[in-house]
Amino acid sequence: MVIAKEPVPGRVKTRLTPPYSPREAAELARAALADTLAAVLAAPARRRVLVLEGAPGPWVPRGVEVVPQAGGGLDERLAAAFGQCRGPALLIGMDTPQITPELLRPALDPRGWTRRSAWFGPALDGGFWALGLAEPDPALLRGVPMSTPRTGELQRERLTAAGLTVRELPPLRDVDTARDAELVAAEAPHGRFAAALLRLAPVAAR
């Protein structure tokens, strides 16, 4: 699953403005989502689901199922996404366009799961970029404070307190600020996100 917002100016990547305009920030968000979905399509999975806030457009590639996000805070929306799953599920966001199928592969390999297991991908800002549950349980997410420097720590504690064996994915940087965007683009210089940033960087510098 990829949880994301429709790339509409003024509603996505607002921390990129300034230096980027709302339209440019939305263009970067669309490129980040495209890179993310491309990696998901190339990864071994039975279903690929975009959990979307907003309306789907022609930017949703074939092979990706779209379901609407639930309402409420981010913890409730993540919980609701897992509530639609039967069997092992991995959820990621749209803020890490540097992901690759190889990076996701351990958490999508059936041999990497036991009945009481989870996969966890920490983000450098203290959050998390990936969460996988062998037995999806919305209660494991509800009430976890989101968008704080301790979100990842608290979510991981919730998993271990439930008796789950937690396996780790590599830490990654989310794209939140213009500086984040530069660093992430340098990690994946051949992606759509890097190309969009390169095209817009001279505009943002003015």
Of 169, 200, 190, the residue nearest 23 (C-alpha)? 200
Give the model confidence (pLDDT) of 136-187 as tens digits: 999 999 999 999 999 999 999 999 999 999 999 999 999 999 999 999 999 9
pLDDT at 89 over 90: yes
Say what the pTM is: 0.94
- Measured distance CA(45)–CA(91) in Å, rounded: 12
At residue 187, the pLDDT reads: 96
Q: CATH fold of 2-201, please?
A: Spore Coat Polysaccharide Biosynthesis Protein SpsA; Chain A (3.90.550)
pLDDT at 206 over 60: no
At residue 1, the pLDDT reads: 97
pLDDT at 38 over 80: yes
At residue 87, the pLDDT reads: 87
In the predicted model, what is the mean pLDDT of residues 54-83? 96
Give the model confidence (pLDDT) of 105-138 as tens digits: 999 998 889 888 999 999 999 999 999 999 999 9
Rounded to the nearest integer, the mean pLDDT of the chain is: 95
Of 152, 62, 50, the residue nearest 91 (C-alpha)? 50
At residue 203, the pLDDT reads: 58
The pairs formed by 149-158 with CB atoms below 8 angstroms and a separation of 24 or more are 149/125, 150/126, 151/126, 151/127, 152/120, 152/122, 152/123, 152/126, 152/127, 152/128, 153/126, 155/120, 155/128, 155/131, 156/120, 156/122, 156/128
